[in-house]
Amino acid sequence: MSSKADQILQEKNVIMKEAIGIDYDIFEQEGVAFDYERMMRESGYTIEELQEIQAHFFVGNTPIIELYNLTKLARKYAKPGYGARIMIKDEATNPSGSFKARRASVSVYEAKRLGYKGILTATSGNYGAAVASLAAKEGLDCIVVQETYDSRHVGQPEIVEKARACEAYGAEVFQLSVGPELFSTFLKLLKDTGYFNASLYSPFGIAGVETLGYEIATDCREKYGKDPEAVVITNAGGGNLTGTARGLIKAGAIDTRIVAASVDLSGLHMASDTAFNRKSFTTGHTGFGVPFSTNPDRSDVPRSAARPLRYIDEYYTVTQGDVFFMTEALANLEGLERGPAGNTSLAVAFALAQEMKEDEIILVQETEYTGAGKHINPQLSFARENGIEVKFGNPEEQVPGESIILPENAGLIKATPLDVDRMRKSYLKNLRPKMEGRELSELERTFLKEELKVDDEKLETLLNGDA
């Protein structure tokens, strides 16, 4: 990394404070602890106020759709009396076609309210299009910094499609190659432009998703007379899961299981130039879902508001082939062309539904638009061009970066559990330099219990490395 990039990184906290209007230092407490809930209150909005903001942008109030045919298919593989009702929250009906419009709405509203002339975000995903869409509505300039290419200047069709969407809404898109230049370029642009930082990981970005969880609970009660037994959430950077879970809790749905879902891309390093185009999923995979859970403050703000280990009850992975199969099944059986990210959680929900009773509800909390580079056909063609074997068979035999195996039948779709305790231990390992050689204070222990969703006994076990 150049000396200029090093210098700009050293200015990170000052640049962030000016670009988002939050002094993160005031949340710091002793040792490893910080006041998370106080930081979240910095968003400054109640659920009702968030709903008003989103109504202004025509965001939210998306329908819950029961997938009768996929439920029927799941029951084919379940024992008698089992096969939960599978439902989706159809977030593709939001402006720009994804739940990210909820996150963008609060940041765009804040930027406009505080008098910024423009807004800036670093993302290769749907969030850039969401920010660009709503910024256009408010008359704000918009810049999207996107990690697009490998060193051959070859970009994945899904990422290239998302850049097209950002530009369609009038945003200026900086397309970069994989590596550390994304963050340093982002910081330099923030400093040079004086634009608002529409970070995915600010309290504003997470608060916007709370309405999604809140709607799930209130809509299910109104329509079905109860909360869903389980909500399945595709997990990448953790903001989707954090915000949805917080919204469910604010609605009183405290018994609903929070289930994280990711595509298994183990063995592929996300910052690797050679691995960049050997995966067919740019988000919602273990390359983001695991490291951002175990080290959440690796994000573009001093303290990330996306902290999924505070809320996860269970975590499962599925293969790329499973998700492609489920994308086709959703289109062919339910007449809904969606994906790919939301279909990651749908594949997990399909497998878990077979282990739940028929009168129970398992709900997938988001869908997204598809088309162009996001569609199955260009994705699989791109995989073949990069030397990936694509075939039908048993997805359990798939090797990320080498093969994509589409299941021969729906009965082969499996949800593989991740060891959440192992992730908790990894989180603590990342904090080890700040904890070694001293006793943790009571404040620190309280923070860690909340951060890892554990009790005193479990925390002690994890700290001692016995879990």
Q: How many CA atoms lie within 13 A of 407 on its CB side?
A: 21
pLDDT, tens digit, for every residue of 247-281? 999 999 999 999 999 999 998 877 777 888 888 88
Mean pLDDT of 394-413: 95
Query: Domain check: are 295 and 164 in the same one?
Result: no
DSSP letters along 328-379, please?
A: HHHHHHHS----SHHHHHHHHHHHHHTTSBTT-EEEE-------GGGSHHHH
Query: Domain check: are 20 and 64 in the same one?
Result: no
Q: How confident is the model at residue 143 (pLDDT cuts 50, 70, 90)?
A: very high
Q: How confident is the model at residue 4 (pLDDT cuts 50, 70, 90)?
A: low
- Check whether 74 has a pLDDT greater than 70: yes
- Check whether 43 has a pLDDT greater than 80: no
Q: Is residue 84 part of a domain?
A: yes
Residue 111 near residue 148, CB atoms below 8 Å: no
Query: Domain check: are 240 and 346 in the same one?
Result: yes
- Check whether 393 has a pLDDT greater than 90: yes
Q: Is residue 357 part of a domain?
A: yes
Query: Domain check: are 34 and 136 in the same one?
Result: yes
- Tokens 């994304």 locate to 182
* Domain end residue (candidates: 155, 176, 199): 199
Q: Is residue 162 part of a domain?
A: yes
Query: Domain check: are 46 and 64 in the same one?
Result: no
Beta bridge partners of 197: 120
Structure tokens at 221: 């009660």
* Lateral strand order in the sheet of 118-122: 172-177, 141-149, 118-122, 196-197
Domain assignment of residue 369, given as a range: 59-97+204-417
Q: Is residue 128 part of a domain?
A: yes
Q: How confident is the model at residue 405 (pLDDT cuts 50, 70, 90)?
A: very high
Q: Tell me, what CATH number does 144's domain have? A: 3.40.50.1100
Q: Is residue 425 part of a domain?
A: no
Query: Domain check: are 347 and 397 in the same one?
Result: yes
Mean pLDDT of 151-172: 90
Structure tokens at 93: 């009906």
pLDDT at 10: 73
pTM above threshold 0.85: yes
pLDDT, tens digit, for every residue of 12-33? 778 877 888 888 889 999 999 9
* Domain end residue (candidates: 199, 216, 235): 199
Query: Domain check: are 30 and 153 in the same one?
Result: yes
Query: Domain check: are 303 and 403 in the same one?
Result: yes
Query: Domain check: are 253 and 397 in the same one?
Result: yes
Query: Domain check: are 227 and 320 in the same one?
Result: yes
Q: Is residue 422 part of a domain?
A: no
pLDDT, tens digit, for every residue of 89-109? 999 999 999 999 999 999 999
* Domain end residue (candidates: 162, 184, 199): 199
Radius of gyration of the chain (CA): 21
3-state class of 197 per DSSP? strand
Query: Domain check: are 192 and 329 in the same one?
Result: no
Number of domains in the chain: 3
pLDDT, tens digit, for every residue of 314-366? 999 999 999 999 999 999 999 999 988 899 999 999 999 999 999 999 999 99
- The Cα 462–Cα 467 span in angstroms is 5
Query: Domain check: are 86 and 113 in the same one?
Result: no
pLDDT, tens digit, for every residue of 187-221? 899 999 999 999 889 999 999 999 999 999 999 99
